Structure 1
């Protein structure tokens, strides 16, 4: 009996199961987020191959992200009813399968359809991973497991962009997707081997309407709405810049190849390293002040990227990544801290607002690119500045 109780204790770093969970989720995160963002540096390739505009090619990003928003709702509910591990396993295998299917699509329209389906299942990992960690890992060590998982999100996004652009420049986009499909399939198989069974999952018969009521409570909170709006604004600016930077750098006065453009995504390293440091500083001066600092750094970076110099563009992109991930992590922490109940519902709404920002920044901003080029894209940062200044932020933290 004592042995059974011991096995039922939440995982700690002293147990191999803790590291099996962490490594499995890191692999899953790398697969999911590299798949989501591998198309971003390839958009100019699709404009040439399928004779579509930059705005139309961005549908390969926005359609996927819109489907993710739907998936966060549906797969999140499914995870609570049928098990989080099951949802994540299905997500990984279908994601790899759609990557294999994409090179065989006959038209650009069908590519968008497959990306939409792919996006729905991409949501399986973010919809279930945090809930699994919260249930299976000891609260004292949850921060370590969560930090490693979230860092893998950023690393996956960076890897998808860098490797995708580099391989496509050397070979073609079909070869790129096959490589990512192989990695996705390997990750899914390793996930099956490494991931322990859920021990604390309890199937719920609670009605979906009751779950929705719990989530909708947060839409009545002014402070929560401000933070959800921050998620949208930050991601619109960040996604717009990274979606249209390949088009900008391919033109005058830069004329960079896709391979060199792909290397600009190494700026994400600053996005991986800055948030843990910002977290420590926020313990001293507060979350809101650090979030404001992050937004300021992002704005300075955007201004530098407007200059016709490759060096200033690279410095600007690095500051944009640093500022964005600092502000985003502080906003997410404020959501978690401010929600006194239905914390998962509050986090869910923040994620939904976050990915809505990705969809808007990918395609809706395309009209600014078509009309005003890079200046038009950067103009969205002005909107961020104005709204950030006038949004009613917390008086107390």
Structure 2
């Protein structure tokens, strides 16, 4: 009797090792519509909501920090910059930690620690202590965004993965908006401490939901962490013709976006506008255009190519900055909406392009992209404070305009080198 090469003969299959527990055969992946699916997406939606809520809740409170602690706009912006800077670095290793000890324990511990640190931030009355707590927050937060998507890929059925991933990312966007909005509105009535505490309580409830509702991992296999190999793998990514430019685009996109939102509050709270903290907080509802932008620009990239759509995204941010520099509130409202639309569209295109481009090193490339992305928030957001201190809102707009023009140049370079003619040609990246 003939058999296929490499397969165990039928007569010997009874002697083959028994399938170990927790295999795909015994534990199928989570299917859409099942109770497990609903529990998982609810838990991860709440986790994403809380993660980006506690990260960005301080943004509308920066003017309040300046007033309470007697610090400049640039000094106040450190409350966000230290968190995103540490987050950028720690995300490079959080995935390796989860490879060793498991996805679920890392996410639960990460979110619980973040909630407790946020509540601690609301209780402090020392600026240096507040910065220390926000630094530790950046470290603790890294366990959710670096691991959640990996958990979904491992545990979800392929037909359920798209919806589950979309709901998780939706939680990120809604959390980023709601954290800012809740903190801003509560702070307007009861002070900045109450604003931070409100978001901290939500994060604590979300960590309980993650702990009790997220199903146990069935397809996780512990892997030995090999940090010594990372430098060679990362160096290989930088030899690619496109990836370094995509990392730069992520750096510029979030850097400009965060800087605009950091100092727009200062501008609108001051004369001649004199808006309330609640009204300034409501500006963050424009985040809702991000969910539309990400999907629409992604589809447009499929038709026109990623290069031109990435350049278009930077162009929209550029147009938004021009409108934001004008002294009329309707023009500024349109400007922040355009900049937000362009940012989310550009981030969607650039991050997906990284995944396609990197091939077998997709995980390492995504980690480097996120590192660059959050580093942009930290570095550019802090530098924006220098421009605001010396040249006011006009200085911030000029600073962001120059960086956005650099982004347009990077996108055009990608477009011309890689997508003209036959289209994108993947380059093997060796690490």
TM range (shorter): over 0.9
Shift, 1:139, TM fit: 2.8
Q: Report the equivalent of 1:388.
A: 408
Q: Report the equivalent of 2:342.
A: 323
Greater shift after overlay, 83-92 or 94-103?
94-103
SS in 1 for 2:117: helix
Contact 2:92 2:368 in 1 (8 A): no
Contact 1:238 1:361 in 2 (8 A): no
**How far apart in 1 are the matches of 2:345 and 2:125?**
41
Q: Does 1:236 align with 2:255?
A: yes
Query: Measured at CA, do residues 215 and 10 of structure 1 come closer, stay the same or move farther in structure 2, by a change above 3 Å?
Result: farther
**What runs of 5+ residues in structure 2 fail to find an aligned partner?**
1-18, 425-431
Shift, 1:386, TM fit: 3.7
Equivalent position to 1:73, from 82, 85, 92:
92
Q: Does 1:205 align with 2:224?
A: yes
Contact 1:253 1:308 in 2 (8 A): no
Number of residue pairs the alignment of both structures matches = 397
Larger CA Rg, structure 1 vs 2: 2
**How far apart in 2 are the matches of 1:78 and 1:43?**
33
SS in 1 for 2:275: coil
Q: Report the equivalent of 2:11.
A: none
Contact 1:158 1:266 in 2 (8 A): yes
1:99-110 superposed matches below 5 A: 99-110=118-129
Shift, 1:193, TM fit: 1.3
Shift, 1:7, TM fit: 4.9
Contact 1:215 1:342 in 2 (8 A): no
Please list the CA deviations of residues 73-107 of structure 1 after superposition, one character each: whole Å capped at 9, or x if unmatched. Answer: 23221011111111100011101111121133241
Q: Report the equivalent of 2:5.
A: none
Equivalent position to 1:353, from 372, 392, 396:
372
Contact 1:64 1:116 in 2 (8 A): yes
**How far apart in 2 are the matches of 1:277 and 1:67?**
32
Equivalent position to 1:63, from 82, 88, 101:
82
Q: Report the equivalent of 2:130.
A: 111
**How far apart in 2 are the matches of 1:5 and 1:78?**
23
**How far apart in 1 are the matches of 2:368 and 2:235?**
9
Greater shift after overlay, 100-109 or 300-309?
100-109
Contact 2:99 2:224 in 1 (8 A): no
Shift, 1:147, TM fit: 1.6
Contact 2:182 2:198 in 1 (8 A): no
**How far apart in 2 are the matches of 1:20 and 1:233?**
36
1:1-397 superposed matches below 5 A: 7-379=26-398, 380-389=400-409, 392-393=413-414, 394-395=418-419, 396-397=423-424
Shift, 1:5, TM fit: 5.2
**What runs of 5+ residues in structure 1 fail to find an aligned partner?**
none
Give the TM-score, by structure 2 length: 0.88
SS in 1 for 2:29: coil
CA RMSD of aligned residues (A): 1.8
Give the TM-score, by structure 1 length: 0.96
**How far apart in 1 are the matches of 2:194 and 2:101?**
36
**How far apart in 2 are the matches of 1:48 and 1:28?**
32
Please list the CA deviations of residues 327-382 of structure 1 after superposition, one character each: whole Å capped at 9, or x if unmatched. Answer: 11000011011111111111000000000010023211211111111111111222
Greater shift after overlay, 120-129 or 12-21?
12-21
Query: Measured at CA, do residues 338 and 173 of structure 1 come closer, stay the same or move farther in structure 2, by a change above 3 Å?
Result: same
**How far apart in 1 are the matches of 2:27 and 2:307?**
38
Greater shift after overlay, 271-280 or 207-216?
207-216
